[in-house]
Amino acid sequence: MDAQSLIARRIAQELRDGMLVNLGIGIPTLVANFVPEGIHVFFQSENGLIGTGPVPEPGMVLPWLTDAGGKPVTALPGACAFDSAMSFGLIRGGHLDITVLGGLQVDQRGLLANWMVPGKMVPGMGGAMDLVAGAKRVIVAMQHTAKGRPKIVRECALPLTSNRPVDLVVTELAVIGFPDGQATLLETQEGVAVEDVIATTEAELAFAPELTKPTLPRAASGAASFPPVGDAK
Amino acid sequence: MDAQSLIARRIAQELRDGMLVNLGIGIPTLVANFVPEGIHVFFQSENGLIGTGPVPEPGMVLPWLTDAGGKPVTALPGACAFDSAMSFGLIRGGHLDITVLGGLQVDQRGLLANWMVPGKMVPGMGGAMDLVAGAKRVIVAMQHTAKGRPKIVRECALPLTSNRPVDLVVTELAVIGFPDGQATLLETQEGVAVEDVIATTEAELAFAPELTKPTLPRAASGAASFPPVGDAK
Amino acid sequence: MRTIKLEDAVAMIPIGATLMVGGFMGVGTPEPLVDELVRQQKGDLTVIANDTAAPGIGIGKLITARLLRRVIVSHIGLNPDTQQQMLAGELQVDLVPQGTLAERIRAGGFGLGGILTATGIGTIAEEGKQKIAVDGRDYLLEPALRAHFALVHAFIADYLGNLQYALTARNFNPLMAMAADTVIVQAENIVPVGVVAPDHVVTPAPVVDYLIAKG
Amino acid sequence: MRTIKLEDAVAMIPIGATLMVGGFMGVGTPEPLVDELVRQQKGDLTVIANDTAAPGIGIGKLITARLLRRVIVSHIGLNPDTQQQMLAGELQVDLVPQGTLAERIRAGGFGLGGILTATGIGTIAEEGKQKIAVDGRDYLLEPALRAHFALVHAFIADYLGNLQYALTARNFNPLMAMAADTVIVQAENIVPVGVVAPDHVVTPAPVVDYLIAKG
């Protein structure tokens, strides 16, 4: 299984019956492919729909029914449509159980940067700031490193998306949470050693009790020697 | 024609084609009976409908379709229904061309009191404060006096509905406006002498140029001798 | 969303809870829920609603049964019982301009801290409230409202909980369906998924917690 | 509401006007109005919209034609022309979180001074903005937005101007239809009065000023 699918599959295990879930573009979109059997999840598309269905058959495209990227989709039975104020009322008002977003950097305390790289990429925050500020649970789906550099860092060099910490970061190597405001390794993906996670993480990691403690002392892992970030993908 | 109909008929002359109009209970409701021919006016009922129709035939009552007092009405073709936030968005947002309300007192500067008599009648302001604050034009429909006492006063003794002056007061005797913040007699109803209006008005009145000036000097009219108000109907 | 028996739904509501109750002069009030509150004698309640209707109608039944400690409403003029309990000091009545009440409830459900409205400025409704100037104009800051439970009346609910309302029975119902910790819906009609077109749904299913089962 | 020819509607819009334009990545943007703005070369415009779409789509056409002086949007990521004009200093781009943008427009149409949202706190989006504490929590005060004209796309308009939208083409359209001095609507379908049920109307007729006549 490729890295992206590994991440999406693990995040899908966080879904529960009846939840309202918003999936960002990129890896988060793949989560919909791994919904556990027997549960019904409402997927919200922030352009104004709950109940987005798969891509339509040829000849069945309706120009007034797309995903947030403008690509044609279908609607499932029981779908509902609404305006952008309602869409973000659902997000900001605490009705959204989970938002799954991509990330550029996540810091030690769980703060996320995912919407701009000054001078290089300024797409606008779109709905990201509302999603992180408003969702009941924020899950970041991202590769553990970008071009060999860690994305889980001591402090974000990139502009923050919110002052509200995320709840979970899932990468192809690990699952990291932030109990008591401290980045904590909760699980490693199958076949990944704790040491591999430490070696590719700049942030100081705490460890969940059920994890085997690393054999290398943290100071020896060389995390501090990573080059400064700023052009993460 | 009775006093109430006289008032309603005169107010109906303020209506223009395509206007959105809210009619309060009491005399204002009667305005709908005098809409000039050939114009289409949208009547809003603040409980959530534009396009209220007359009382239904026996056997045709729908419990989910009433006026703001809970009385069954019908809906005209082209009617639309909405929630209370939209209803007051139309009012507060400047979309309502005219609101016609009853009044307990209107003062010299056009300030209206119409929602409570302390210790006696505390029904709640309902939509009155929003209507006066938000409508493009506020027209008060009321009898000129209550139990012989003037309702157009120097200063309202009753709690104000808004700090925004009304635009027009129509009584069975007169039409009074507030150009430059000063109560001004614009018209008298048919057969009413300017002196009759002055005699039953406590507020100092200015006079529209086209009106015959009163022969009695203002000080001699005795307006200052009216007893204090406070239990106006 | 789960279906639930009327009595079990009301049994969840503790004495002293804050409830939002839909309806405008009783139109669009979920009467079976009100009746069951009276039957189970749930007292000491705070009710947020447009009005207290009239004796024997909607929220008026809760007033007459003396189950309310406080009401936050825009109008009580057609219920003499409310006035009498208020004057006797047995019921706290907070009067709020109707448009302000609607927006404060919406703000509670939409995650906004409050609203900025010119309504009430220069009247006794401004007492004790913060004034905020925006672009040179004054507004009252009116804080958001939320409740423990919303009792919502719908015309149609589908099996998932998508709601549609009927004409003037809509009023505060869709706003309250967003603004409470637990949302209980009584629907006139319950229909299979797909019967309501996506564009006609007013309240999206995921905000509904409980739908009262048909008897 | 009056019906009007496409060219006459756009002729009303002066150079330098502020426009709200419905649509989300072009979906629900009134393309005929956009095309006519380009044909009449209406320049120096400020556009308030969700995004600048992509070159050749919706608002992207106005970007490419260099008719815009300023945009107030939540996203420009799929239009490289916008980025390029912004970096060259030819276009002012004000980025606003999407939910904040939607509520600011709604506030403009609903007569509210602004909104109180926690979105953006602790980020560069809070710069220069007033913070207001309500019940111990901080919110940003984001002022209401209004425009001279709203260009609205509807799925169905009736002869009076009542509007219904289709699925994800709804987005910002009903909000903008409330928030501009003059509201111009382009509808896919124009139907007789009564064809749209009162409960299905999303935008009430009285707020619509002009409906583009069918060709």
B127/C118 CB distance under 8 A: no
Inspect the structure and tell me whether chains A and B have 3 or more CB pairs less than 8 Å apart. no
> How confident is the model at residue A223, as a pLDDT?
44
Q: Which chains touch C (3 or more CB pairs under 8 A)?
A: A, B, D
The reply to whether residue C113 touches residue D116, judged by beta carbons under 8 angstroms, is: yes
Q: Chain A within 8 Å of D124 (Cβ-Cβ)?
A: yes
Note whether C113 contacts D113, CB cutoff 8 Å: no
Which residues on D lie below 8 Å from A88 (Cβ)? 98-99, 102-103
Q: Which helix (H) or strand (E) holds D142?
A: strand D137-143
Q: Does C111 touch chain D (CB under 8 A)?
A: yes
Residues 158-177 in D contacting C (C-alpha not used; CB under 8 Å): 164-167, 170
User: B91 contacts in D (CB within 8 Å)?
Assistant: 111
Contacts of A231 (CB under 8 A, 6+ apart): A117, A120
Sorting pLDDT into bands at 50, 70 and 90, what band is A220? very low
Tokens for A48, please give them.
């104004």
pTM above 0.90, yes or no: yes
Distance to chain A for D70, nearest Cα, Å = 15
Contacts of C198 in chain A (CB under 8 A): 49, 51, 75, 79-81
- Check residue B218 and give its pLDDT: 44
Residues belonging to chain A with any Cβ–Cβ distance to chain D shorter than 8 Å? 45-49, 62-66, 68-70, 75, 81-85, 87-89, 91-92, 121-130, 133-134, 159-164
With contact defined as 3+ CB pairs under 8 Å, the chains touching D are A, B, C
Q: Which residues of B are catalytic?
A: 46
Find the radius of gyration of the CA atoms of chain D: 17
With contacts defined as CB-CB under 8 Å, which chain C residues touch A50? Answer: 204-206
Name the residue facing C117 among D112, D132, D167 (closest C-beta).
Answer: D112
Give the dihedral of Cα atoms B186, B192, B195, B199; nearest 10 deg. -100
Residue A213's pLDDT is 55
Residue from the list C106, C112, C201 with its beta carbon closest to the beta carbon of A80: C201
- Long-range CB contacts (within 8 A, 24+) of A175-181: A175/A10, A176/A106, A176/A152, A176/A205, A177/A208, A178/A109, A178/A110, A179/A206, A181/A109, A181/A110
Q: Would you state the pLDDT for residue B25?
A: 87
* pLDDT, tens only, D131-144: 999 999 999 999 99
Beta-carbon contacts of D9 under 8 Å, excluding residues fewer than 6 positions away, are D33, D36, D184, D210, D212
Predicted local distance difference test score (pLDDT) of residue B231 = 42
Q: Where are the domains of chain A?
A: 3-143+157-172
DSSP reduced 3-state for B205: coil
Q: Does D200 touch chain C (CB under 8 A)?
A: yes
- pLDDT surpassing 70 at residue A232: no
Task: Report CB contact under 8 Å: C168, B65.
Answer: yes
Cβ–Cβ below 8 Å for B124 and C74: yes
Asked if D82 and D63 count as a contact pair (C-beta separation under 8 A), the reply is yes
- What is the predicted pLDDT for the residue at B206? 95
Compute the count of residue pairs across chains B and D with CB atoms less than 8 Å apart. Answer: 59
Mean pLDDT of D181-188: 98
For chain C, positions 169-188, list CB contacts with chain B under 8 A. 169-175
Residues comprising chain A, all counted: 233
**Would an 8 Å CB–CB cutoff place C127 in contact with chain D?**
no
CATH of domain A3-143+157-172: 3.40.1080.10
Residues C98-113, mean pLDDT to the nearest whole number: 98
pLDDT tens-digit readout, D78-124:
999 999 999 999 999 999 999 999 999 999 999 999 999 999 999 99
**SS percent in chain B: helix, strand, coil, step 5:** 20, 25, 55
State the best of D100, D101, D104, D116 to mutate against chain C, taking most chain C CBs within 10 Å.
Answer: D116
A81–D168 C-beta distance less than 8 A: yes
Which domains are present in chain D? 2-111+145-212 (3.40.1080.10)
Contact C78, B121 (CB under 8 A): no
Q: Which of C96, C140, C168, C200 to mutate to test the interface with B (most CBs of B within 10 A)?
A: C168
The reported pLDDT for the residue numbered B214 is 53
The contacts of residue D160 (CB under 8 Å, 6+ apart) are B78, D1, D193, D205
Alpha helices in chain D (DSSP H): 6-11, 31-39, 59-64, 80-87, 98-110, 173-176
Average pLDDT over residues D5-30: 98
Q: Within an 8 Å CB–CB cutoff, is residue C201 touching chain A?
A: yes
Contacts of A168 (CB under 8 A, 6+ apart): A11, A14, A137, A138, A139, A140, A175, A176, A177, A186
Total residues belonging to chain D: 215
Count the neighbouring beta carbons within 10 Å of the beta carbon of residue D212.
24
Percentage of chain D beyond pLDDT 70 is 100
pLDDT given for residue A233 in this prediction: 36
Q: How confident is the model at residue A219 (pLDDT cuts 50, 70, 90)?
A: very low
Is a pLDDT exceeding 80 seen at residue D72? yes
Give the sheet arrangement for strand B42-45, strand by strand.
B74-81, B49-53, B42-45, B20-23, B98-101, B137-141, B168-170, B174-177, B184-188, B206-207
Residue B74: φ, ψ to 5°: -115, 175
Question: Under an 8 A CB cutoff, do D207 and B95 touch?
Answer: yes
- List chain C residues with CB under 8 Å of D109: none
What's the pLDDT at A120? 83
Q: Hey, what are A152's tokens? A: 């889980």
Q: In whole angstroms, what is the distance from residue B180 CA to residue A12 CA?
A: 67
For residue range A47-86, what is the model confidence (pLDDT) as tens digits? 999 999 999 999 999 999 999 989 999 999 999 999 999 9
Distance of CA D206 to the CA centre of its chain: 19
- For residue C16, give every residue at least 6 positions away whose Cβ sits within 8 Å of its Cβ, in sequence order, or none: C43, C44, C45, C69
* The pLDDT value given to residue B212: 63
> What pLDDT sits at residue C206?
98
User: Measured on CA atoms in the order C41, C46, C48, C50, is the torsion positive or negative?
Assistant: positive
Token look-up 């009846």 returns A18
Residue whose structure tokens are 């060099």: A157
| Per-residue pLDDT tens digits for A159-217 | 999 999 999 999 999 999 999 999 999 999 999 999 999 999 999 999 998 886 555 44
In C, minimum Cα distance to A21 occurs at: C206
The reported pLDDT for the residue numbered B230 is 44
Mean pLDDT of A106-111: 97
Amino acid B224: pLDDT: 42
Tally of residues, chain C: 215
Is residue A222 over pLDDT 80? no
Verify whether the Cβ–Cβ distance B92 to C117 is below 8 Å: yes
D157 CA to chain C: closest CA distance, Å? 15
Task: Report the alpha-carbon distance of residue C165 to residue B83 in Å, rounded.
Answer: 9
Q: Do chains C and D touch (3 or more CB pairs under 8 A)?
A: yes
Per-residue tens of pLDDT for chain B, all 233 residues: 899 999 999 999 999 999 999 999 889 999 999 999 999 999 999 999 999 999 999 999 999 999 998 999 999 999 999 999 999 999 999 999 999 999 999 999 999 999 999 988 889 999 999 999 999 999 999 999 999 999 999 999 999 999 999 999 999 999 999 999 999 999 999 999 999 999 999 999 999 988 865 554 444 444 444 544 444 33
Contact D77 A123 (CB under 8 A): yes
Residue B221 confidence (pLDDT): 44
Q: What is the pLDDT of residue A214?
A: 53
The pLDDT of residue A122 is 86
Evaluate whether A160 touches A106 at the Cβ level (below 8 Å): no
C72, closest residue in chain B (CA to CA):
B124
Residue D146 has pLDDT above 80, yes or no: yes
What's the gap in Å between the CA of B158 and the closest CA on chain D? 27
How far is C188 from chain B, CA to nearest CA, in Å? 11
ipTM attached to this prediction: 0.95
| CB spacing of A162 vs D27 below 8 angstroms | no
Helical ranges in B60-168 per DSSP H: 84-92, 128-134
- pLDDT of the residue at A210: 82
Q: What rounded mean pLDDT belongs to chain A?
A: 91
Q: Chains A and C: how many Cβ contacts under 8 Å?
A: 59
Q: Name the residues of A annotated as catalytic.
A: 46
